[in-house]
Structures are given as structure tokens and as C-alpha cells.
């Protein structure tokens, strides 16, 4: 089996291969850290020494695609350590930080519940798989419509296609809230307010304050200089700072 | 991606307020899919948020199915059962293999070899 989930490409090839028909997998060994890797050759399974830690759990059964088609060039048969490259497509397995994942899991189960370490790691991998899953589907739709950028609609569509339609409505709400919040932030940052006085009490918001100031320059001439102040203490000819 | 400033702002915003997963990492994973060019801000946010929901769902579901055991601990085993019990998790079937003891696996292999040999003999017979 393909023990270490990678990015979307792994899923992509798997989809292809499962459409072509599954073939029993090669055996693989368990590394001391619990992750497993494919083993070389065909008949090395009965050699206990190659099987990591005898008596421990190893995964069994189904899966893996030894695709006989051209796609077989993907190197499924290669001796991978899970972080290999198939024809240069595969990148290093990318996961979301386990701390974040674990925190979300913790919030989902009763407070008295605990989570096994391998369960956390496993969900971490599932998450990457999920993201790739959704992205592949959304990307396909995007291409069908001859667009180059995946937008929110594609994602939502992918979710409902893949059986997560219960997420769609809540997600739309979240998106709405998110957009409003973003706009709100922008609003604060670009608003122009006039401060009461110079200097001492600068608020967090940017502001422009025009003060005529008379300066006597070195050569004795008096000049009227406009001083513009902002929360960033910039004194320059800039009248307004735009935050876009 | 368009609007890199916006992107930066969005990252800060997302991290601190609405989404507890790093958007940049989500983007990285998305981009590792084949044929993905650009990803809209909305799409990024939706994916990140959906991922959160997914984690909650998977954890809660697996925990519920596994409870009744005294340990009250969510284990790998609980997770591995989810693809067969819920259609939505079917796509995880490949990466959530059931675990078996090595000796059981050997037995399985031996049995399979015997089967194969048996088949071979039968098919070699010609009429």
C-alpha cells in the first residue's frame, strides 16, 4: 500500500489506478517509528528480519496500485521511503502542523477523552488527503470551464460532489463573515481622522494632520512648511497614506 | 496569486481569528495537486475552514464509534474503521489500512501462495 500520503498527485494517481483495476500490493515493512515503507523485490516478505519489528503490527490487505498502464511509470514499484519522487512529480509529503490538528480533534471529542499519538499522525495524513481530494475535484471543474484560477465556487461544488454537501451552507456563512471582517479591517485602516493636537496622543489609526508651521531656515528666510503627521510619525510630502 | 498584500493581511487575519490552520500550508498542499495553477483567496479560506470541519467530523465520528471501550481514547483503530462504516470517508480507505499482527500476515501470505499454486495446477490441465 501507499503508506505515506503525499500531495494531490498521489491521490490523482490512485484515482487513475483504481479505475484501471487494483492489484495486490507489495509487502512492506514497519519502521521503528511506526511508519512503513515498501520493500524491495517480490518474495522478501517471509524474511522476518526485513519486517521491522516482528510481532508488532503491520498493515495488511488490499490496495495499491501496480498499474500496468503507462501510469505505472509513476514508480509505484520503486523502493520508496515515502518521501521519494515519482518521475519528479511527488514532493515531500506535506502535512498541516500536528499541534493544530490535535487541537481541533480535542475540541471535537468530550473533554475527558484522550487521543492516541498515532491517531493524531493519522488524522494529519487524512487532512492532507482531504485537501488534495477536494482540490483535485475543484481543479477539474475549473479546467472544464477553461478557467485558470480555482475560486470559492469550485471548492463548494467539489464539496457537494464528494459527499460533503452538509458543509456547504455553513461554509458559505463563514465566508460571508470572513469577507465582512476583511472589509471592516480595510475600512479602519484607510479612514482619515483628524487628531486633536500634535504628537502626544497618536491613535492606532492612521491620520493626517496638517499643521502650518513657520520655520526659519539657516539662511534667515522664513518658510512656511506644511507638516503632515501620521501614526507612523512620517513627516513628508505625502498627504495620505493609502492602505490597499 | 493576485493581491499579495491582501494575501498577507488575510494570513494574519486567518491565523488570529477565524481559522486555526496555517493558510500558507493549506495552499502548499493544494498546489501540490497536478494541474493546479492559481487559487482564489476565497477558495483558500473555504478549504482551510472545510478542513477544520472535516477534522472535527472525523474525530467525533471515530470516537463515537469506538466508545464503549473503557479507555475513552481515540485510537488509530477507531479511525481505520471509519471508511468502511461511512461512505464519506471512503476516500481515506487507502491511507487508513487496518493493522494486523505480523504473524497473521505471514499466515495470510502462505495461504495465498497455496491458493495460487493450486490454481496454477488446475489451469495447467489441458483437455
Question: What is d(CA B61, CA A88) in angstroms, rounded to the nearest whole number?
Answer: 37
CB B45 within 8 A of CB B23: yes
CB A202 within 8 A of CB B39: no
Question: What is d(CA A167, CA A128) in angstroms, rounded to the nearest whole number?
Answer: 18
| Most confident of the following: A157-161, B61-65, B94-98 | A157-161
**Stretch A157-174: mean pLDDT:** 92
pLDDT in tens, A172-215: 999 888 888 888 776 655 544 444 444 444 444 444 444 555 54
pLDDT in tens, B6-65: 444 444 444 434 678 899 999 999 999 888 889 999 999 999 999 999 999 999 888 888
CB proximity B63 to A under 8 Å: yes
Q: Is the pLDDT of residue A60 over 60?
A: no
Residue of B nearest to A164 (CA): B88
pLDDT at B124: 53
pLDDT at B46: 93
Distance from CA of B86 to the nearest CA of A (A): 11
Q: Are strands B38-39 and A149-150 parallel, antiparallel or unpaired?
A: parallel
The SS3 of residue B35 is coil
- Give A163's contacts in chain B (Cβ within 8 Å): 87-88
Distance from CA of B1 to the nearest CA of A (A): 9
Q: Is the pLDDT of residue B76 over 60?
A: yes
CB A35 within 8 A of CB A48: no
| Nearest CB to A46 within list B18, B39, B109 | B109
What CA–CA distances, in Å, run from B51 to A98, A180, B7, B48, B85? 13, 21, 19, 5, 20
Question: What is d(CA B101, CA A60) in angstroms, rounded to the nearest whole number?
Answer: 9
pLDDT at A219: 54
- Neighbouring CB atoms inside 10 A of A141's CB total 17
The SS3 of residue A114 is strand
Distance from CA of A111 to the nearest CA of B (A): 10
Angle, CA of A138, A141 and A142, to the nearest 5°: 85
Mutation site, A50, A134, A140, A176, interface B, largest B CB count within 10 A? A134
Question: What is d(CA A160, CA A168) in angstroms, rounded to the nearest whole number?
Answer: 7
> Helix, strand, coil shares of chain A as percentages rounded to 5?
40, 15, 50
CB proximity A63 to B under 8 Å: yes
- Give A51's contacts in chain B (Cβ within 8 Å): 102
Model confidence, pTM: 0.54
ipTM over 0.90 threshold:
no
Task: Fill in the DSSP letter of residue A70.
Answer: G
B45 contacts A134? CB cut-off 8 A: no
pLDDT in tens, A211-233: 555 545 455 555 555 555 444 44
CB proximity B46 to A under 8 Å: yes
CB proximity B7 to A under 8 Å: no
Cβ partners under 8 Å of residue A198, min gap 6: A209, A211, A229
CB A214 within 8 A of CB A221: no
Nearest to A76 by CA among A19, A15, A25: A25
Q: What are phi and psi of A43, to 5 degrees?
A: -110, 30
What CA–CA distances, in Å, run from B101 to A28, A36, A56, A60, B104? 13, 14, 6, 9, 5
Amino acid at each position: 500500500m501507499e503508506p505515506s500520503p503525499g500531495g494531490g498527485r498521489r491521490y490523482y494517481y490512485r484515482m487513475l489506478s483504481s479505475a484501471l483495476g487494483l492489484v495486490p500490493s507489495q509487502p512492506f515493512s514497519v519502521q521503528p517509528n511506526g511508519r512503513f515503507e515498501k520493500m524491495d523485490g517480490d518474495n522478501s516478505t517471509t524474511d522476518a528480519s526485513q519486517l521491522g519489528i516482528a510481532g508488532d503490527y503491520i498493515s495488511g490487505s488490499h490496495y495499491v496500485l501496480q498499474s500496468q498502464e503507462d501510469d505505472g511509470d509513476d514508480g509505484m514499484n520503486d523502493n520508496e521511503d515515502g518521501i521519494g519522487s515519482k518521475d519528479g512529480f511527488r514532493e515531500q509529503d506535506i502535512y498541516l502542523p500536528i499541534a493544530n490538528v490535535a487541537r481541533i480533534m480535542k475540541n471535537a471529542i468530550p473533554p475527558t477523552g484522550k487521543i492516541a499519538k498515532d491517531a493524531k499522525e493519522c488524522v494529519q495524513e487524512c487532512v492532507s488527503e482531504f485537501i488534495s481530494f477536494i482540490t483535485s475535484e475543484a481543479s477539474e471543474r475549473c479546467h472544464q470551464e477553461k478557467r485558470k484560477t480555482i475560486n470559492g465556487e469550485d471548492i463548494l461544488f467539489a464539496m457537494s460532489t464528494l459527499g460533503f454537501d452538509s458543509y456547504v451552507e455553513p461554509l458559505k456563512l463563514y465566508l460571508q463573515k470572513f469577507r465582512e471582517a476583511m472589509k471592516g479591517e480595510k475600512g479602519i485602516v484607510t479612514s482619515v481622522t483628524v487628531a486633536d493636537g500634535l504628537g502626544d496622543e497618536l491613535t492606532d489609526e492612521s491620520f493626517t494632520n496638517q499643521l502650518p508651521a513657520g520655520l526659519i531656515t539657516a539662511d534667515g528666510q522664513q518658510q512656511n512648511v506644511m507638516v503632515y503627521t501620521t501614526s507612523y510619525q512620517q513627516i513628508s510630502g505625502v498627504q495620505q497614506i493609502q492602505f490597499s | 496569486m493576485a493581491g499579495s498584500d491582501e494575501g498577507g493581511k488575510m494570513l494574519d487575519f486567518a491565523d488570529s481569528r477565524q481559522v486555526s490552520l496555517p493558510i500558507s500550508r493549506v495552499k502548499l498542499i493544494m498546489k501540490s495537486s497536478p494541474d493546479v495553477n492559481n487559487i482564489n483567496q476565497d477558495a483558500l479560506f473555504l478549504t482551510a475552514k472545510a478542513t477544520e470541519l472535516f477534522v472535527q467530523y472525523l474525530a467525533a465520528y471515530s470516537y463515537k464509534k469506538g466508545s464503549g471501550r473503557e479507555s475513552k481514547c481515540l485510537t488509530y483503530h477507531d479511525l481505520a474503521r471509519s471508511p468502511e462504516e461511512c461512505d464519506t470517508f471512503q476516500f481515506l480507505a487507502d491511507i487508513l489500512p487496518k493493522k494486523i499482527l505480523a504473524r497473521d500476515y505471514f499466515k495470510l501470505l502462505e495461504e495465498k501462495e497455496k491458493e495460487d499454486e493450486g490454481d496454477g495446477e488446475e489451469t495447467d490441465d489441458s483437455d
